[in-house]
A = this chain, B = another copy of it.
Amino acid sequence: MSSSLGTLFRISTWGESHGPGVGVVIDGCPPRIPLTVEDIQAELDRRRPGQSKIVTPRKEDDKAEILSGVLDGLTLGTPIGILVRNTDQRPSAYTEMQQAYRPSHADYTYDAKYGIRAVSGGGRSSARETIGRVAAGAIARKVLQQTLGGYECLAYVKTVQNIEATVPAAAELTSALIESNIVRTCDPVAAEKMIELIEKIRTEGNSVGGIIECVVRGVPPGLGEPVFDKLEADLAKAMMSLPASKGFEIGSGFGGTTLTGLQHNDEFYMDGDKVRTRTNRSGGIQGGISNGEEIVFRVAFKPTATVLREQKTVTNTHEDTTLAARGRHDPCVLPRAVPMVEAMVHLVLADHFLRQRSQMG
């Protein structure tokens, strides 16, 4: 289904950006997992507009309501419904878009597919759809924290356009470090430059992209499936389903194609009674299955398609025209994409954890 993800920890998101609300239903969540609305709200707050000067100033509170599946702070094992009402609906700000297809948006392809479209606010193709993902991800994370001892997932902005962050040693790479700056990068010096660039780009009515890197710790060996549902394949799908993503690579990635096998292979060694690898070009996954090392991958995000400068395009009645977007948009999606990337990791891993437990006991 287009709007469902997962085999056992299964989520279904719904909602248009300027309709009554957006939300998600999570089916298959284990029972008796501690869960409060604050667990969910904390992640939504990292995702929401208006949180800093470098993201869209749209005022969207994005308050979550748990509609089902939780009682007295514990999950019931039944479907968890979550609703976030839409509040900041300003259809008037988008009038021209009813006619003109925004370049590199989904306006034209939605019309081509469905023959109908919720024009206002981007409808279903709006990034508001990710609210359901982030809310569900917060629940998946609770499941993983409860069942896998030291589970931790840290995404951070690696590059904005040509500015690259230096990644510190593992011990210093913490959530606190990443959240210490509004870009959500792991390098405070680069953070300053990135903020400066994003602010400049915004004043120009332009936009920039970049790369998010993600490190996942505490995943035991054995998660994943060996053929089509390889762990890296499901992560790739999850990341490539995020708005504006254009690429995914794990471990050595594209750069690894210039090494030889002897250079690239990760030698095994015994670390006490634990099988470890000296290097991690595999990115924590071999043959589709986790090997107990850190899972490390990167996702490329294109520059935001919405720019406040005139561009050529066509109308929905197939006339050539021009369009300059108005309204309030993110000049760079990456700071808000960090919690989205993490949410997708939680969802994929919770699903694979349940799959592993199902078959292997």
Within 8 A of B (CB), among A301-349: 301-307, 309, 311-314, 318-320
A39-84 at interface with B (beta carbon < 8 Å): 65-69, 71, 74, 76-81, 83
Copies in the complex: 4
Contact indicator B320/A32 (Cβ below 8 Å): no
Q: Is the CB of A105 within 8 A of B68?
A: no
What are the residues of chain B within 8 A of A19 when measuring CB–CB?
Answer: 67-68, 71
Name the residue on B nearest A272 (C-beta).
B318
Question: Chain B residue with minimal CB distance to A276?
Answer: B314
A118 interface hit (Cβ, 8 Å): yes
Whether A94 is near chain B, meaning CB under 8 Å from some CB there, is no
When chains A and B are docked, how far (Å) is the Cα of A249 from the Cα of B104? 16
Please give, as numbers and ranges, the residues of chain B lying within 8 Å of A8 by CB-CB distance.
1, 8, 355, 358-359
Q: How far is the CA of A282 from the CA of B66 in the complex (A)?
A: 34
Cβ–Cβ contact A112 & B221, under 8 A: yes
* Pair A360/B124 contact, Cβ less than 8 Å: no
* A209: interface (CB < 8 Å): yes
Q: Which of B228, B258, B261, B286 contacts A4 (CB 8 A)?
A: B228
Find the B residue at minimum CB distance from A319.
B270
- Give Cα distance in the complex from A253 to B16, angstroms: 28
Q: In the bound complex, do residue A289 and residue B358 qualify as a contact, i.e. CB atoms below 8 Å apart?
A: no
Residues of chain B lying within 8 A (CB to CB) of residue A217: none
With A2-B28, A249-B247, A288-B241 in contact, do A257 and B301 touch (Cβ < 8 Å)? yes
> A101 to B268, Cβ gap below 8 A?
yes
Q: Which residue of chain B has its CB nearest to the CB of A161?
A: B258
Q: A19-B67, A104-B264, A256-B302 are in contact. List 18 more A-B contacts (CB 8 A).
A: A1-B8, A23-B81, A31-B115, A77-B360, A78-B118, A104-B265, A106-B286, A108-B275, A109-B221, A159-B257, A210-B257, A228-B237, A236-B239, A254-B298, A259-B302, A267-B313, A281-B302, A358-B358
